[in-house]
Chains A and B, each alone.
Chain A
């Protein structure tokens, strides 16, 4: 450390937190010695990062352990307590009121008042302008937030943090919906704040961003801090190794895909107004085709269009050469198309039901509804899925909610394998699952492809697409920018096309 100070700015010491039977934090420690640094907090999903950040923001209270600010023990019993002490969190979703002006949003929690009822509008606007100037943002304080780009909204959130005299700025996955250019301008601001003495805690699932921005790093694994130190002591491999607790395993490389020149799924001129335009795309049997692009590039909408989610979809969908009519999810299911949505809990699974019922849901959707579900027909299918997919559950009749994220995701995928789908559409297939389960899901997708299923998979994690796809289609603003084969597909190429460059 450059400056030796007796007391650290912010210290989290030996914090524990249980959720029911799960020990989410078990002796986690974080120490930010002084302001003017960017501190990365890294760890796998489930390592306790979110819990740690919530404890810092006062959104939950630890069961044991202490948080010290300037050496003084503090208790963040409520989010406003943390805010008053200058700890401000900016997350991926903005918490701005979209129909109010930038100035109103900036001073929402601490309005400049005149008497009991009045608001000093002039001063509000002027002070907001000062804050924006400090961040070198050329925005009109009176502009309505809804009209801003996502990154600009993110900036307004940071401006609000600054206006509250933030000493510690927490960026929790704040970059995940931003383009590279936008991320860069966000980073410029964070660096400016660093020079002004603000400490930033930075969490991102993109390691490249962590390396680009952070000075120090704290690594969480299984709820405890395993390592901490200057980031320059680490490279990608050693950081991943420390996160996982063993040698980082790169997913198995798929053998070269040999084109059979016969498309299983063909899209011709598929459009959804306002989302995707004139998409032509082919998926061969046994092929895994990736959809890359920024959040908002139309990847999810394209998958949804194929699955019949949008009545205003135009264009043609062909299955094994024959044009098919897909006007509802049921039509798609009847044609042997399966869809694993990105929002597993909101759309993928019925959490109030059992593993068995979720697994068999798609396979049994065309049975006569007044029939009795037959255990002798269902259980072999369910048992087979549980065994081949290595789904860990106490019993097929256990509530799906009792499973870990990775195992839930396997069920969301498994219901289509049980339904013997010919085409699989997957949106963010490994969102919110840990590294071990990720590798298993890649293996399952590989096995499914080997059995002749055509797979179209959308992901915002480029390394994931590079690992599992035979071909990658890069989208930008609803259009296909490029189709990259194995050799052409690199992270750099995908990023270039994905941000709209030819």
Chain B
């Protein structure tokens, strides 16, 4: 039994190592085929962009795309997620909590492709188009908002854990000097839970940046595009750039346009792993002992 379980653990570790190995190998192949010319990664032409099949690899295009959509996602996810968490932890009667909490968990279980369709069929026509009338129905705002919806559950659930970990005795101390419930929440409970809330934010950001399906479906670009900043423009994330090139009519199979995806993957991996490590550090450093 012990050997079987140990073997399972071992296989998991080996798989992680293999993924890293494949990413590194691909990335090195890419740099070989561009002759270690790092200048190619920042396009300083008049119309910079990510056009891998024309061997134009402006990293800034897809990194900015990821950042813009990640920011938009967090603008949606922070108020909704933190608000849900505060409501569930501080205000909801047990009866309501028993309904709302599973509902939030259901949202967490919805496959992202469905959220992608939700973006195209609801967020774009009913929210973004009437308010902002963008040129294209698919754009970074639509995708960013949908990614935000997708990361609300993780934001809500980690924040709620942090809030519920604040001992009741602190709330009572605040009530005991005549503080209102809202004051107690803002002045005592939220500050005491700040490390968990910051960690939730970082982990949710990491998820948002790693989200692929929604960014590819609703972002509005198929594997290539110019460098843009405006949320109302179609845009390309690192993840969408990778997935569009991996299948379908835009598929690329070899050479630098193919190998660059491994480099982007490695970058994405390093980015999300750093965020998770920062979150871990924040929790450790600022953990309250109450």
Q: Do A and B come from one complex?
A: no
A interface residue numbers (CB < 8 A to B): none
